[in-house]
Structure 1
Amino acid sequence: MAEGAKARLAWLAQRIAPARPLRIADVGANPLGKPPYLPLLRAGLAEVWGFEPDPLALARLDRTDPAVHVLPHAVGRGGVADFHAYPASEMSSLYPLSAAAIGYLGHFRRHLGTETRSRIETHRLDDMDDLPRLDLLKMDAQGAELAVLEGARDRLTGAVAVVTEMRFYQLYDGEPALWELDRALREQGFVLHRFLHQKTRMLHHSQRARVDARAIGSQLIDGDAVYIRRFEDRAAWDDAQIAALALLACGVFGSEDLVLLCLDELAARGRVKPKVAAAYADMLPQAVPA
């Protein structure tokens, strides 16, 4: 996070003064990169429950931060399921890789047939007594995101956002389609806000040695999508939910227009002074004149 963004997050937190750290569940917390909520965690504005069933990935998770709770659970609908553990832990899933899909894509071939299959118990977030109701759910569960969501209706009652990996092209046999996850999110009151990133690959063709794969790779694979609770329904939200969305928009999504909209709503409720939105806008990078 750039220094200017860090400064805006600290300034914003002082103005809206959250009563407690934001509560975040990270399902599939494999530490392949920096999690998007890291700025909130470093600023002391978040408490995180990280779930990772793959032993290799679990061993790499940082357990030194008292605000991070690491749990070795496979999260889903509950009950026993097959777990396919691949040597490349980022590929491990409740579903097996699809040979047909990989044959088309021409990527991920090295992972086929390398998995160890075992029976594991999956756990619903709603059944975890020590897990509070959430402000944000982050999911990267290699196809199991729909099952996670369906087992978290109670924990998401007051949540204002979900960050989820969405598969554009099926990699695993049996994994739910993108539209199924989108429908389930909308049924729980969330709408698509933005994509944080999208991953593409060049298809396997005869001229692959003669072209720039990064320049012409066109097949969408997956990406992280941000869903927010329908803002049209904000009359039913409490002030803490509006403030939580503002902090998430600033510290996780990079959605500065959403921050300003939340500040407008808080000002209309008398929660912050009317000039706070203008002061925040003054801190944003200015557009370069055409």
Structure 2
Amino acid sequence: MYSKTVDYSVASLLVVSLVLLGISFLFGAGANSVSSAFDFYGLTDVMPISNLGMLSGVVLMVTSGFVVLHQSKSIAAPLPLAAIAVVCLFTLVTLFADNRWIAAHGGFPVIGSGQGVIKYFALLPIALFLYCRHQLSKKTLIWWNYFPVALVLFWIGGMKFLELEAKAIVPLVETSPFMSWMYELFTVQEASNVIGIYDLLMAILLGIGIWFNYRPLLIVAWLGCIAVFVMTQTFLFTAMGALSDTSLLTGLGQFVIKDLWFIANMLIIAYLTFDHRQNEQ
């Protein structure tokens, strides 16, 4: 893979996701997530939720514009890097809010609305690759991009062993032409357990493959991990209520589209580990 091709692919995934998220926020989708985030900072007392949603949409659209302008060499790297960092950190800090965790199950680490929030960890490694990679070693970039992939597979994958999560994914699994067969072979909980085991196993194997730089294992684990995030994107078209006529994406659609960031993480890992033209730094 050539560097320019990877840059373009990663930037394109970033732009598409930010634009779709931005449009959906502008047209009122994800009001609960907007409320939860801004309420943490006490801003819901200052501005109506609808206006805060529009503000979120504008920020995401402007950030995507910075990415495009940098790709066309119209602006310098600090602008998109700073914008992505603001979006990422503003959202991640809200993980300290109590409402991100399911109190009925003991709170942390049983995560509720925070499942969508932890996905923002994927943004910073993407930005580091696009705008700072010459200041970082190849190994550092690989591990930075592995971290959000492992985090979401371990954390959300681990949640699959809980009854509440097993039931929550039923609308996604039963409408998927690729996964509905699982309910013919397993109970709802058993199917969820299988998905959880798969997620955990692939994350572990990818980490081992990176650590030992063992190419056959890397290839298998890489394919296994990226399959998770590609499969998630199919839910946009198979799950009821993921898309909207008025805002493109619903809250569910917003949750799903963020997995484009993990596909970008996986592309970066592939470029840095599989391309023999990459020199060890």
Structure with bigger strand share is 1
Q: Which has the higher helix share?
A: 2
User: TM over 0.5, yes or no?
Assistant: no
TM-score by length of 2: 0.29
Query: Which is higher, the Rg of structure 1 or of structure 2?
Result: 1
**Higher-RCO chain (CA-CA 8 Å, sequence separation at least 6):** 2
